[in-house]
Amino acid sequence: MFLRGSKKRRSNRSQEEEDPDRGQPCMRCGDQCPGFRLHGWRKICVHCKCVREEHAVRSVPGQLEKIMTKLVSDFQRHSISDDDSGCASEEYAWVPPGLKPEQVYQYFSCLPEDRVPYVNSPGERYRIKQLLHQLPAHDSEPQYCNSLDEDEKKELRLFSQQRKRENLGRGAVRLFPVTMTGAICQQCGRQICGGDIAVFASRAGQGSCWHPQCFQCASCSELLVDLIYFYQDGQIYCGRHHAERLKPRCQACDEIILADECTEAEGRYWHMKHFCCFDCEAALGGQRYIMRECRPYCCSCYESLYAESCDTCGEHIGIDQGQMTYEGQHWHAVEACFCCARCRLPLLGRPFLPRGGLIFCSRSCSLGDDPNNSDSCDSALQSRSPPHNRRWAGHHKLQCGSPLQPLEGARPSPTPAKDSINFTVENRGVHCTAPVLNGVPSSSGHPHPRGSYSPLPHIHLGNGLGPSWPSDIPQYSFPPERRRSDLQAAASSFRESGLRAQH
């Protein structure tokens, strides 16, 4: 047991050290990433969390070349060196097989310049990136997957064989005969005239053709790399998105889920053991978690990574605390924090004036006057306005933010009428999963025969978003229990006071 375990550990270390892309810079993160280093099972960089194809991959991995050759063996009978492309194949990293040099140039002239795979060009890097993304090795070969049991390995082989037998094809590029009247592109619906270059897909039926720039995946709208497509229900797909139409893909390890159970949350899927915090990797099954950019976080990691600081007290605003936000500023939704910067009058449910990064209860406080000289904050806000304010009151909409209490179901309000108060809420959901047995259809519209987890009703923690408007015009901040009719009445009252001030 110990010897076998040691051999496996040595094998893993050797595989990591032999990775040809190790240390390659990230094209997205730049100097922030010290270089690519593969995560143990997530298929991302441990440093910057970006996928391999976002890094400066040097060339097509040998393993992928073998898989591609195996995939298209039924459709590519001859190698590029056997066709008539001549010197054109030396100028490009890849050319469509079977074309003469002038036809190769005609084909690539239809593509965007940064998509043409000239040797050592952005187009070649784009091709390598799309090969890695559109044709994942772990969708076809068990040896590139993590911890599959024998039944799952057998199922993956059968799955790959079935897709190859029933769906896989390779587009054929050829000139449309001049003697023919033309055809209609399956993608854009425009005509392909005689003498034009076109891409034909035999799986789609006789006469089905595309402009070269239109031969793209129906799901991601990217050009189908090396013309490799999968045909399903009248559409052509890249390998990745075709596989996802048939089986769910784990959002953590990027592999097709072959197990009897999986976790489902917000229309996405995970292996049971892979539904864990994206940062600390603590298991989240049955636990509270927060989704950010389709990645689940435990509450502790989310607070430490993304919690905002209160502009009054400087402390972090926890996910279980109410929050007020306005133009990038944040406050605890409590009287001690969301208050006038001068007289400390609580502003929850009251009008306020933002000025110079601070909020005030009245114009006198915002100007530094003694607040005791004013009868009340509200009367100060309703005093006669300067001419430019009166014009604003007649032609602009009053807006408001709202403090949100923890664990209440605050949701975005319906689109308001023209003259009503705008009330906008940004939700951050704290969720909890619960098991569901086999037979539940997926939200993507196609049935998954395996069981899945489904989220319980979401517990939303919202952020009230203040509007962008003139800094000397009062805003209103209402508690969530106030009905929308109350907000509209407040807006109407404020507009009427503005109109009276004009007269």
Residue 59's pLDDT is 67
Same domain, 420 and 496: yes
The answer to whether position 162 is within a domain reads yes
The answer to whether position 409 is within a domain reads yes
Q: How far apart are the first and last CA of the chain?
A: 92
**Which residues, 6 or more positions from 44, have their beta carbon under 8 angstroms from its beta carbon?**
38, 50, 51, 52
- Residue 398 domain boundaries: 323-424+467-502
Q: What is the CATH number of the domain that holds 96?
A: 2.10.110.10
Same domain, 385 and 395: yes
Same domain, 274 and 155: no
Residue 289's pLDDT is 93
Residue 48's pLDDT is 92
Residue 147's pLDDT is 84
**Which residues, 6 or more positions from 82, have their beta carbon under 8 angstroms from its beta carbon?**
none
Same domain, 352 and 418: yes
Residue 63's pLDDT is 63
Q: What are the tens digits of pLDDT across the range 269-327?
A: 999 999 999 999 999 988 899 999 999 999 999 998 998 999 999 998 988 888 898 88
- Domain limit, last residue, from 246, 278, 312: 246
Same domain, 451 and 399: no
Intervals of the chain under pLDDT 70: 1-18, 58-89, 371-503
Residue 20's pLDDT is 79
- Taking the mean position of all CA atoms in its chain, how far away is CA 174? 37
Same domain, 255 and 272: yes
Q: Where are the alpha helices (DSSP H) in 118-259?
A: 122-134, 150-166, 239-246
The answer to whether position 188 is within a domain reads yes
Q: Where are the alpha helices (DSSP H) in 49-192?
A: 62-71, 88-91, 101-108, 122-134, 150-166
Residue 296's pLDDT is 94
- Domain limit, last residue, from 205, 223, 246: 246
Number of Cβ within 10 Å of residue 354's Cβ equals 21
| Overall pTM surpassing 0.75 (yes/no) | no
Same domain, 106 and 211: yes
Domain total in the chain: 4
Same domain, 207 and 290: no
Question: How far is residue 196 from each of residues 72, 182, 212, 227, measured CA to CA in Å?
Answer: 26, 9, 10, 18
12 membership: H or E segment, kind and range: helix 2-17
**Which residues, 6 or more positions from 485, have their beta carbon under 8 angstroms from its beta carbon?**
none
Same domain, 155 and 105: yes
Same domain, 192 and 209: yes
Q: Where are the alpha helices (DSSP H) in 312-459?
A: 363-366, 377-381, 387-395
